[in-house]
Amino acid sequence: MIIINSEKIRTVPNDFRTHLNYVKFLREKSSNITLTCKRKALKNFAKKPVELEKNIRSVKVTKESIDKEYEMIKMHSNYARYCVSWIAVKSYYLLYYLELILIYLIDGDKNHFEMGHSAILKIFKNKIAEGILFFNKQIFNEVKPCYDANKFRAPSGSNLRSNCPEGIRTNQILRKLAEYKGDEFKRDKKIRDYRKESKRKKRDDFLKKEKVTLFDFFYLYRIKSNYRDLKFIDQPIPQESFQDYYEEYYNLTMNFYSAFEEAINNLATIF
């Protein structure tokens, strides 16, 4: 086994720094974020359906797991090295269960509980686009075609600067998320490469039709974690940088957790 003494590591690889900057930016911009629904709940929840009860329990268990992990990292900072690759997965599922609950309260359709992750995210984003749901921070309500997001070209080295202007940083993140959506499309369609024009057309048609928002961050980073593609984590990195990354991701997640929790409780008293 190779043991790396993180105390002797002083440099942070550029890709790790880039992703840390992205997470930190989203955490800062989502501070005090709220989520408002213009509709009332369609159901009387005197008797909650089994599917709803299950997701409420999943929210509690997942949040407890993340909270305990975070407390452990605060006591033992070296533990963060082993947790950063999983925070994206746990974070996503916490917000996914909340999405399901919120959408059910709005639509009253139990079939939503049987739908896939991308389908639920699409329903949620459609409600944002229709104005049924909206965040108080406009930056999280904006949508852009992936094809357009991919065209953005940032000034050289701006991804490594912690004080990058909001507009540039937003487009950097949207471009990265659009890239991840393209990777997911390529994997799902079992496309090896784009040397053939017909395959390039399929890719471009998908990217023109598919929309991306900053909220896609949670789903797409979870996908990258599941497929072990977060290579920026698997490097010699200072111990404190792992801790910074985890803490930023945790606080970003809790910003949105609070927003969803308040929106849900405003529709029905279920917690």
Tens of pLDDT, residue by residue over 45-91, are 556 789 999 999 999 999 999 999 999 999 998 888 888 888 999 99
First to last CA, the chain: 46
Give the residue from 142, 27, 42, 172 showing the smallest Cα distance to 87.
Answer: 27
The DSSP bridge pattern shows strands 133-135 and 35-37 to be antiparallel
- Both 122 and 245 in one domain: the answer is yes
- Both 28 and 137 in one domain: the answer is yes
Tens of pLDDT, residue by residue over 105-161, are 998 888 999 999 999 999 999 999 899 999 999 999 999 999 999 999 988 888 888
- Both 114 and 205 in one domain: the answer is no
Is 181 inside a domain boundary? Answer: yes
- Both 61 and 132 in one domain: the answer is yes
Print the domain residue range for 19.
Answer: 12-141+227-267
- Both 178 and 54 in one domain: the answer is no
Confidence of residue 169 (pLDDT cuts 50, 70, 90): very high
Tens of pLDDT, residue by residue over 191-237, are 999 999 999 999 999 999 999 999 999 999 998 765 445 565 666 77
- Both 66 and 133 in one domain: the answer is yes
Is 3 inside a domain boundary? Answer: no
- Both 22 and 137 in one domain: the answer is yes
Is 2 inside a domain boundary? Answer: no
Neighbour count for residue 57 (Cβ, 10 Å):
11
- Both 156 and 102 in one domain: the answer is no
Dist. CA 167–CA 29, nearest whole Å: 12
Residue with tokens 């927003």: 259
Is 234 inside a domain boundary? Answer: yes
What is the three-state SS of the chain? CCCCCHHHCCCCCHHHHHHHHHHHHHHHHCCCCCEEECCCCCCCCCCCCHHHHHHHHHHHHHHHHHHHHHHHHHHCHHHHHHCHHHHHHHHHHHHHHHHHHHHHHHHCCHHHHHCCHHHHHHHHHHHHHHCCEEECCHHHCCCEEHHHHHCCCCCCCHHHCCCCCHHHHHHHHHHHHHHHHHHHHHHHCCCCCCCCHHHHHHHHHHHHHCEECCCHHHHHHHHHHHCCCCHHHCCCCCHHHHHHHHHHHHHHHHHHHHHHHHHHHHHCCCC
For the record, the structure tokens of 225 come out as 């974690």
- Both 84 and 198 in one domain: the answer is no
Q: Cα separations (Å) of 38 from 35, 114, 131, 134, 266?
A: 10, 25, 8, 9, 11
Structural domain total, the chain: 2
Rounded to the nearest 10 degrees, the angle between the axes of helix 84-107 and helix 50-75 is: 150
Residue 9's pLDDT is: 43
Dist. CA 206–CA 186, nearest whole Å: 10
Confidence of residue 10 (pLDDT cuts 50, 70, 90): low
Is 18 inside a domain boundary? Answer: yes
- Both 129 and 148 in one domain: the answer is no
- Both 206 and 237 in one domain: the answer is no
Is 6 inside a domain boundary? Answer: no
For the record, the structure tokens of 81 come out as 């090295």
Residue with tokens 């953005």: 152
Is 203 inside a domain boundary? Answer: yes
Which of 212, 237, 255 finishes a domain? 212
CA angle 137, 126, 256 (to 5 degrees): 40
Is 259 inside a domain boundary? Answer: yes
Give the residue from 213, 223, 9, 6 showing the smallest Cα distance to 126.
Answer: 213
- Both 76 and 49 in one domain: the answer is yes
Mean pLDDT in residue range 184-190? 91
